[in-house]
Amino acid sequence: MGFLRIFKTKTFLLLFLGVSFLFILLGAAFTYYIVSGIPPVYELEDYSPSLTTKVFDKNNNLIYEFSVEKRQLVPLADIPVDIQNAVIAMEDREFFEHSGFSIKGIFRALMSDILTGKAAQGGSTLTQQLSRGVFLSKEKKLIRKIREIFLAVQIEHAFSKQEILQLYLNEIYMGEGAYGVKTAAKRYFDKDLQDLTLGESAMLIGVIPLPSRYNPFSSPEQAKIRRSLVLNSMLEMGFITEDEAKQANAEPLPTKKGSASKPGLYFIEHIRRILEPKYGFDTFWKGGLNIYTTIDIEKQAIAEKILDEKLNEYDKKIAENLGIELVDDSIAKEEGMGEQEENKEENAEEPKEKPDYPKLQGAFYMRDVKTGAIRVMVGGRNYEESRFNRVTQAKRQPGSSFKPYVWMAALEKGYTPTSTIRDLDMVFYFDGKNWNMFDEAKDQYSLALASQPFMYTKDFDVWAPKNFGGNSSGLSTLRRALELSKNLVAINLIDAVTPKRVIDVARRAGIKSSLPNAPALALGSAVVTLEEHLNALSTFANKGVQVDDYSIERVEDSNGRVLERHIPFEKQAFTPQDAYLLINMMKGVVARGTGGAARALGRPIAGKTGTSQNHRDMWFIGMTPSYAAGAWMGYDDDTSQESGKWTGGGTVAPWWTSIMQELLKDEPIEDFPVPDGIEYVFVNPETGKLALPADRNKFLEAFKKGTAPSSF
């Protein structure tokens, strides 16, 4: 019996030791599992949350920030005391006493979980919330909670309370896509952090537990209750007085989000489309890049404002002429659906149709002539309504604004500004391979007879271009034809120099879009973007030197290391003499021709108007020796403008001028420099020959040396 008792005792002891060892092993394994899932706390020293990529204008003004998590880091010293006190009073009253976690808080949270049957977020100290936000998942699991406590204790040993509070206030999510108190202040109140009132500070802290529920824009009553709760907590802890709490509770809640509509958003998107594919999503959106651009944000804001005002005036004119009433969509939305529902039954017997007429769209683009730097890019009237960039993405017919390429081709072939070209009606027919002109007919009647057999056959396409207004003068000098934008002269010119040569000129100038090898190219039948069109025409203003547009001066990483820098590249596409002769004739477009609206600038401007087929597109391009700017107006759906009454010179040139009056008001007045190899001679502007001493309307014309007329 004694032996059996001893055996049982030993067996029990061995079993106890085995079970104990097993529990120790399981405990060690569990501890290892818990600890292995916790990142080293020293990583917090180098912790940088998703950083903001910043965009700067040409004067180093911060104009935009890209970020997945909209966040701005700020030192604790720059965070108002009211915010610090509010978060302590509301989220963690024992913050300065505990070592990372609160036994009482955990017990309260545990009891709440048992009573409600739900896992709650409550009971976490600020340090636990920080460890969860930085390192751990947001899942409400026991394992995560234990890891949270382990990590919180480590953080408390590694950092001071002030450092922890600073990290927390920069990290915490506060709704509306805002991380940290500085970004939240801007988003909710459109204010800098230091300008917040006590009531605003309390409201911000109040949203922390459930930002969607306590959002002042969607749930103002809930936001008021939370703000009051925060103020009462601050009062209980002696941070504020009763009078301060009362005044703060009486403050109005924000009703409008911090302005998201900033100037230059079309340009900002243009930047994103260039750089995001190059650096990748994570680096671009989270890497804290610093992007230094060419845009002048002050000029940009001015151009956007004037463009919208002027197009709004045209919308009203169209509405008056068509007998329709313009409805402001924003006003209708603010009035709400309640009134509509109230009136629905009253109006049921007499339904009223709302005329569906599109709003005019417009674009404005300005660049530096010599460098190609983009200074202003207005891709439309409202980026929030339409993000389609009509500067870079819209391809439209340039109409007569394409003619300078034809004139340059003529100059290169030996024509001069006083060369005379036929300004007579003509008819072309297409035989399936080439366009041919009936050039044997000298008068309208004979021309009609010659073309008659081709008008009604499917084997031939017939085209009979006309001047605007239908008039023709018989003969015209190259200069006068450009000033008055004569279509028939343009067609005769392209027929003489060939469309192929015009295409070559356009390519060298900077046009990249497809161009048809057809006579109609002279009238702008191709489609181009405003960006490439202005780029190309700027080549002529730059003494024949072609320089591509660019928008980014340099890109730096978050440590200031330069990742890329703009490297200038230019090429001499045309001789300075030919470029000057063309620009000198384009100055006449403004001084005496279709671009006369730009004379109001009171400075030399080389310009060209454009009106596309059926008056769908209105253009004006204007240039000084330093700046080139282009403007377009039209409908996105290609609707004809004002039943075909409007032209680029009569509509776009005036508001282009209104914008440029503001943008150039501080710029010096300058004229295009005359290159070597140019001489001036007085000529008769009608005949193109040398002027007689008695001629009253003689004109001082520029020529390449040796090409001026020699006879009267």
Three-state secondary-structure class, residue 353: coil
Query: So what's the pLDDT on residue 132?
Result: 72
For residue range 32-46, list pLDDT tens digits in order.
444 555 555 555 555
For residue range 142-156, list pLDDT tens digits in order.
556 666 777 878 888
For residue range 190-247, list pLDDT tens digits in order.
898 999 999 999 999 999 999 989 999 999 999 999 999 999 999 999 999 999 999 9
pLDDT at 48 over 60: no
**Highest-confidence segment of 61-70, 145-154, 344-353, 619-628:** 619-628
Gap between the Cα atoms of 53 and 558, Å rounded: 8
Please give the backbone phi and psi of residue 708, each rounded to the nearest 5 degrees, phi first: -70, 150
- State how far Cα 293 lies from the chain centre: 13
- Give residue 346's pLDDT band: very low, low, confident or very high (50, 70, 90): very low
pLDDT at 457 over 70: no
pLDDT at 682 over 70: yes
**Highest-confidence segment of 13-17, 215-219, 630-634:** 630-634
Of the listed ranges 99-113, 195-209, 631-645, the least confidently predicted one is: 99-113
Pick the more confident residue, 384 or 44.
384
**Averaged pLDDT, 495-522:** 95
Buried b (16+ CB within 10 A) or exposed e, 247-282: ebeeeebbeeebeeeebbbbbbbbbbeebeeebeee
Gap between the Cα atoms of 654 and 307, Å rounded: 11
pLDDT at 328 over 60: no
Picking from 399, 370, 654, 393, the residue whose alpha carbon sits closest to that of residue 532 is: 393
The residues, ordered by sequence, that sit 6+ positions from 710 with a Cβ below 8 Å of its Cβ are 690
Gap between the Cα atoms of 367 and 373, Å rounded: 5
Dump strand ranges (E) for 119-249: 178-179
Of the listed ranges 228-232, 421-425, 518-522, the least confidently predicted one is: 421-425
Of the listed ranges 15-24, 202-211, 530-539, the least confidently predicted one is: 15-24
Gap between the Cα atoms of 696 and 659, Å rounded: 37
Query: So what's the pLDDT on residue 474?
Result: 80
Query: So what's the pLDDT on residue 116?
Result: 55
Pick the more confident residue, 567 or 70.
567
Three-state secondary-structure class, residue 470: coil
- Give residue 522's pLDDT band: very low, low, confident or very high (50, 70, 90): very high
β-bridge partners, 436: 429
pLDDT at 630 over 90: yes
Gap between the Cα atoms of 118 and 131, Å rounded: 22
Pick the more confident residue, 13 or 587.
587
Q: What sections of 499-627 are H helices per DSSP? A: 499-509, 530-541, 576-592
The residues, ordered by sequence, that sit 6+ positions from 277 with a Cβ below 8 Å of its Cβ are none
**Averaged pLDDT, 512-531:** 94
**Highest-confidence segment of 36-45, 52-61, 428-437, 642-651:** 52-61
For residue range 557-607, list pLDDT tens digits in order.
999 999 999 999 999 999 999 999 999 999 999 999 999 999 999 999 999
Gap between the Cα atoms of 666 and 111, Å rounded: 71
Gap between the Cα atoms of 122 and 110, Å rounded: 9
- Give residue 436's pLDDT band: very low, low, confident or very high (50, 70, 90): low
290, 275 contact by CB (below 8 A)? no
β-bridge partners, 477: 420
- State how far Cα 414 lies from the chain centre: 43
Picking from 434, 392, 395, 648, the residue whose alpha carbon sits closest to that of residue 515 is: 395
Of the listed ranges 55-69, 210-224, 463-477, 531-545, the least confidently predicted one is: 463-477
The residues, ordered by sequence, that sit 6+ positions from 100 with a Cβ below 8 Å of its Cβ are 125, 127, 128, 149, 152, 153, 154, 155, 156
Tokens of 574: 């045309």
Burial class of residue 100 (count of CB atoms within 10 Å of its CB; 0-12, 13-18, 19+): buried
Three-state secondary-structure class, residue 478: helix
User: Which fold, 69-249?
Assistant: Penicillin binding protein transpeptidase fold (1.10.3810)
pLDDT at 450 over 60: no
> Quick one: what percent of the chain has pLDDT higher than 70?
77
Buried b (16+ CB within 10 A) or exposed e, 357-374: eebbbbbbbbbbbbbbbb
Query: So what's the pLDDT on residue 44?
Result: 53
Tokens of 231: 């103020």
In the predicted model, what is the mean pLDDT of the chain? 83
Rounded to a whole number, what is the distance in angstroms from the first to the last CA of the chain?
149
**Averaged pLDDT, 367-383:** 96
Pick the more confident residue, 74 or 367.
367
> Which pTM value belongs to this model?
0.72
Q: How many CA atoms lie within 13 A of 343 on its CB side?
A: 10
**Averaged pLDDT, 523-549:** 97
**Averaged pLDDT, 110-123:** 54
CA distances from 312 to 149, 315, 326, 564 (A): 61, 5, 10, 41
pLDDT at 264 over 50: yes
Of the listed ranges 8-17, 389-398, 534-543, 653-662, the least confidently predicted one is: 8-17
pLDDT at 343 over 90: no
Query: So what's the pLDDT on residue 659?
Result: 98
pLDDT at 106 over 70: no
pLDDT at 342 over 50: no
Three-class HEC string of 266-320: HHHHHHHHHHHHHHCHHHHHHECCEEEECCCHHHHHHHHHHHHHHHHHHHHHHHH
pLDDT at 370 over 80: yes
122, 108 contact by CB (below 8 A)? yes
Query: So what's the pLDDT on residue 317?
Result: 86
Residue 477: CB atoms within 10 A of its CB come to 26
Residue 508: CB atoms within 10 A of its CB come to 18
- Give residue 339's pLDDT band: very low, low, confident or very high (50, 70, 90): very low
- State how far Cα 69 lies from the chain centre: 20
Gap between the Cα atoms of 85 and 590, Å rounded: 66
